[in-house]
Amino acid sequence: MIVSIIYLVLIVVSILLTVQSAHVLYLMLYTWDRADAERRARAPDEFLPPQISFSVLLPARHEEDVIQSTIERVVRANYPAELLEVFVICSQDDDGTIKKAEEKIDELKRKGLRNVRVVVFDDKPINKPHGLNTALPHTANQVVTIFDAEDDIHPEIFNLVNTVMVQEKVRVVQAGVQLMNYESNWYSTLNVLEYFFWFKSRLHYHAHYGSIPLGGNTVFFARELLLRLGGWDDRNLTEDADMGLRISAMGERVRVVYDDRYVTKEETPPTLGHFIRQRTRWSQGFMQTLKKGTWKKMPTRKQRWLAFYVLVFPRGQALLGIYLPISLGMILILKVPVLIALCSYLPVLLLAAHFLVQAVGLYEFTGAHGLEASPKAIVRMAIAWFPFQMVLAYAALRAMRREMLGRHDWEKTQHVGAHRATTEEAESRVG
């Protein structure tokens, strides 16, 4: 009796897992699979003259090392200075960053650029959404955008978004964000590829069906839209995803642009600890958003389902982390009938397909960014594959535990600028 229940569970879970990972695989390849999706994903080849004015929000916490160059990058973007204003957002206790930012502002003033300001907040909670909400009333331009302190933005990004917004009459644009340092450490390749598939392919699917968890930066909103929504949810750990779903629930169309040429470049978290903390935050944020129930307010069932599917994923991942070792153990220890064993071979097959797609994705990624993938990177990826999945599962479990304990504080990711080195190297190689 117990044995047959175990078998039944094995079969059901195997089939569910297979279906689920096949679907994820499909989402990963969505843009490549459809010529029209690929066409729509690309940036326009020619830009319209600057027309829209932008307010750039730069939330920063303990970013002394990188904040100056980030400010520099934003103001030096190829867009008229009178149509740009920049807000560096810091909490009051973060003297280092404030000091560095003000240094930079003074330097820019000497050069005649007066469109950068520092906004300081002193109330709790100290987190990104709260900072953004503090700065929002100060903004005056038509479109509000967010960049993270460590972002390497593309100089043409404003031209690009200006063109898209004017031509397509959209009020929300999510442009591509890409981790670059795929050779930094054992998990960075897989992490980079996650971003690659997420922004290049999957987000387009979500946008198409009107149920999209937005990214945390390089995202552009019409200011009045943000005001109407009342800003960000500052108790949510993934305020960006939450914002995306709220916007989707309003029926607002979100345009996703991922063009390899114009992505915002970022870096993977420097240590495993940081990586796990970042993942925990994301997973927990998704759990919060799920609980909050914005997704239930979406107009169509398809949208609700898609949002639910995204938000519930971390829980699934946690369960998967528990299930995988158990099922492996059972297959090895229990002598299951051949048919059931074959059935549990299905998810393994899909796992192999995922790996294959990621390996190919590495070549796509490096090809698109003028880098060169080596077979060594593939081997490293293969070795890191399983531990990486386990780390993700661990982070998901950790998030679950935190959520149950009611701990909602923000575990920040540290940035050291590893991607900048990669980029420069790449540029020199291309040039």
Partner 1 sequence: MSDNNTPSRPAAVGAEGRKTAADKNPAPSKKTAPDKTTAPTKKTTPDKTTAPTKKTTPDKTTAPTKKTTPDKTTAPTKSTTPTKKIAANKSTTPGKKTAPNKNPAPAKGTAAAKGAEAPARRPRRRPRFSVERGWFPPLGTKGRIALVASLLTGLLTHGYHLFRYPLYLTDEGIYMQRAWSLVRETSLSPYTYDYDHAPLGWITLAGWVYPLPKQFETFGNAINTGRFLMLLVHIASVYLLFEIARRLSGSVLAATVTSFLFNVSPIAVYFQRQVLLDNLMMLWLLLSLFMLLRREVTIRSVFGGGLALGIALITKENAIFFVPSFMYLLYRRVKGSASSRFTSTLWPFAAAAPIGAYVTYAVLKNELLPSGFDFDLNNPPADHVSLLYTLWWQLNRNQGTLFSHTGLLQTSWLVRDKFLLIAGVCAMVICLWIGLRDRKRNLGFLIAGTLALGYAFYLVRGSVVLDFYVTPLIPMLALNLGMVTDRLLKGTFANRFMRGAHSVTRVAVPSFVAILLLASPASGYLVHTNTEGHTQIADQYQSKINLTAMQHAQIAWVRKHVPPNSRIIMDDDLWGELHDVRPFYPYAHSHWNASSDPDVRDKLFRKKWQYVDYIIMSNKMRRSMMLNNGDGRENWILQALRNSTRVWSETRGNIKLEIYRVR
State which residue, 79 or 232, has the beta carbon closest to partner 1.
79
Footprint (CB under 8 A) of partner 1, residues 253-272: 259-262
Residue 279 touching partner 1 (CB under 8 A): no
Question: Which stretches within 210-337 are classed as H helix?
Answer: 223-229, 239-249, 272-292, 301-333
CA torsion sign for 394, 281, 171, 211 is positive
Neighbouring-strand partners of residue 184? none
State which residue, 370 or 387, has the beta carbon closest to partner 1.
370
Alpha-carbon span 210 to 204, nearest angstrom: 10
The minimum distance between CB 39 and partner 1, in angstroms, equals 5
Cβ atoms of residues 177 and 253 within 8 Å? no
What is the pattern of x (binds partner 1, CB under 8 A) and - over residues 165-204? ----------------------------------------
The minimum distance between CB 158 and partner 1, in angstroms, equals 12
What is the pattern of x (binds partner 1, CB under 8 A) and - over residues 409-428? --------------x--xx-
DSSP structure string for 174-209 = EE-EEE--TTSSTTHHHHHHHHHHIIIIIHHHHHHT
The minimum distance between CB 38 and partner 1, in angstroms, equals 5
> How is residue 152 annotated by DSSP?
B
DSSP structure string for 398-422 = HHHHHHHHT-----PPP---HHHHH
Alpha-carbon span 371 to 181, nearest angstrom: 11
Q: Is 164 exposed, middle or buried (0-12, 13-18, 19+ CB in 10 A)?
A: buried
User: The tokens of 70 are what?
Assistant: 């980030």
Own/partner long-range contacts of 334-342 (Cβ < 8 Å, ≥24 apart):
334/6, 336/7, 336/10, 337/7, 340/7, 340/10, 340/11
What is the pattern of x (binds partner 1, CB under 8 A) and - over residues 321-340? -----------------x--
Residue 349 touching partner 1 (CB under 8 A): yes
Which stretch, 96-104, 110-118, 321-329, 364-372, contacts partner 1 (CB under 8 A)? 364-372
Which stretch, 8-16, 53-61, 342-350, 384-392, contacts partner 1 (CB under 8 A)? 342-350
Q: Pick from 293, 269, 265, 266: which is nearest to 281 by CA?
A: 269
The minimum distance between CB 336 and partner 1, in angstroms, equals 9
Footprint (CB under 8 A) of partner 1, residues 34-53: 34-35, 38-39, 44-49
The minimum distance between CB 413 and partner 1, in angstroms, equals 25
Using CB under 8 A, pick the residue from 51, 76, 80, 345 that binds partner 1.
345
Footprint (CB under 8 A) of partner 1, residues 12-31: 26, 29
Cβ atoms < 10 Å from Cβ of 39 = 9
Residue 82 touching partner 1 (CB under 8 A): no
State which residue, 33 or 95, has the beta carbon closest to partner 1.
33
# binding residues, partner 1 (CB under 8 A): 45
Residue 375 touching partner 1 (CB under 8 A): no
**Three-class SS state of 23:** helix
The minimum distance between CB 243 and partner 1, in angstroms, equals 29
Cβ atoms of residues 43 and 158 within 8 Å? no
Which stretch, 68-76, 229-237, 293-301, 360-368, contacts partner 1 (CB under 8 A)? 360-368
Cα–Cα distances in angstroms (integers) from residue 154 to residues 263, 264, 347, in the given order: 7, 6, 40
Residue 74 touching partner 1 (CB under 8 A): no
Binding interface with partner 1 (CB under 8 A): 26, 29, 32-35, 38-39, 44-49, 78, 154-156, 159, 259-262, 338, 341-342, 345, 349, 352-353, 356-357, 359-360, 363-364, 367-370, 423, 426-427, 430-431
